[in-house]
Amino acid sequence: MTRPLQKRRERIFAEEAARLLGTIWDLGDDREHPDFIVTDSEHRFGLEVMQIFVGPQGEDGSSLKTAESRMQRTLNALQRDYEAIEDIPLTVQLVGNMEADNLATVIPALLAQDLPAKPLCYHFVHDTTVAHPFRARLRVHVTKARRANWYSINDRAGFVDRNQHGIVGDAIAKKANELARYKQNAGDDIRLLLIADRISNSGKLTLDNGTQFNLSGFKAVYLFPYPEDVIVLESANGS
């Protein structure tokens, strides 16, 4: 993800978090260290935004998120190839075996439907086992739509893990290492917004009510298990 795209996502998440908290944050201009200097009706504070992930973490971060991103790039390329032939916006949801032989059947299946002649909301399902009964199945749910959206259901259909105290605590501790720098740039009131994007499996986490953390000097820490409600983390004794 490019830095400008990341900043746009951070801004969207922060604005939505504020809405769910029942307030309006003026985020000002994009910046770094911290990501935003926020003003609302009562406060001015620095806000750092960090996305967190479940699953194994390697040198390059979340292996689950890396796999999701790799698959989405593959689907984006498939979408571009189709739209270069027929510039038709489609919702395309893929579930099952994503091996290259299965994916290679998608565009021919779309072209065979003569989608330019079909009405909006026309829907069909392409099932690779029809032509290849002994190949691991891929099902492709296709709807003619107003806006294009191609994605893997495999990467969005996992379970929410409620036992993620360590991931959240580690994220707070990591960002606390930069707290002096944030305060130098934005003042003493520094807050941390942790994003767990539960649309994808790599972000499917939440916490039980009342879970406490060492906030490590942050004035407030928010956990946003998007698109659910924002959780204001409680401070453990001695924080």
CA–CA separation, 133 vs 164, rounded Å? 41
Burial of 32 (0-12, 13-18, 19+ CB in 10 A): exposed
Is the separation of the CB atoms in 162 and 205 below 8 Å? yes
Q: Which of 51, 72, 93, 95 is nearest to 205 (CA)?
A: 51
3-class DSSP string for the chain:
CCHHHHHHHHHHHHHHHHHHCCCCCECCCCCCCCCEEEECCCCEEEEEEEECCCCCEECCEEHHHHHHHHHHHHHHHHHHHHHHHCCCCEEEEEEECCCHHHHCCHHHHHHHCCHHHCCCCCEEEEECCCCCCCCCCEEEEEEECCCCEEEEHHHCCCCCECCCHHHHHHHHHHHHCCHHHHHHHHCCCEEEEEECCCCCHHHCECCCCCCEECCCCCCEEEEECCCCCCEECEECCCC
Residue boundaries of the structural domains of the chain: 3-54+161-235, 63-155
The pLDDT of residue 162 is: 53
CA separation (Å) from 10 to 128, 146, 198?
A: 38, 26, 15
Residue 237: the pLDDT is 62
- pTM higher than the cut 0.85: no
How confident is the prediction along the chain (239 residues), in pLDDT tens digits per residue? 567 788 899 999 999 999 999 999 999 998 999 999 999 988 999 999 999 887 666 666 667 777 888 898 999 999 999 999 999 999 999 999 999 999 999 999 999 999 999 999 999 999 999 888 888 999 999 999 999 999 888 866 655 555 556 888 889 999 999 999 999 999 999 999 999 888 887 777 777 767 789 999 999 999 999 988 999 998 876 54
CA angle 142, 96, 107 (to 5 degrees): 40
